Amino acid sequence: MKVYFCGSIRGGREDVVIYQKIVKKLQSYGSVLTEHVSSAELTHRGEDASDAADRFIHDRDVDWLRQSDAVVAEVTQPSLGVGYELGRVVDMKKKTLCLFRPASGRVLSAMIRGAHDGELFVVKDYSEDDMEDVVDEFFAVMKQT
Ligand SMILES: O=c1[nH]c(=O)n([C@H]2C[C@H](O)[C@@H](COP(=O)(O)O)O2)cc1CO
Q: pLDDT truncated to tens, each residue of the chain (145 aa)? A: 999 999 999 999 999 999 999 999 999 999 999 999 999 999 999 998 777 799 999 999 999 999 999 999 999 999 999 999 999 999 999 999 999 999 999 999 999 999 999 999 999 999 999 999 999 999 999 888 7
Is 19 annotated to bind ligand? yes
Please state the atom number of ligand 1 nearest to the C-alpha of residue 36.
5
Query: Model ipTM?
Result: 0.99
Q: Is the CB of 78 under 6 A from ligand 1?
A: no
Q: What angle (nearest 5°) sits at the alpha carbon of residue 108, between those of residues 103 and 112?
A: 140
Q: Report how far ligand 1's centroid is from the alpha carbon of 8 (Å).
A: 6
Confidence at residue 37, expressed as pLDDT on a 0 to 100 scale: 97
Cα 130 to the chain's mean position, in Å? Answer: 17
Residue 112 annotated as binding site: no
Closest residue by Cα to residue 122 from 78, 86, 81: 86
Average pLDDT, the chain: 96
pLDDT of residue 93: 97
Q: Which residues pair with 2 in a beta bridge?
A: 31
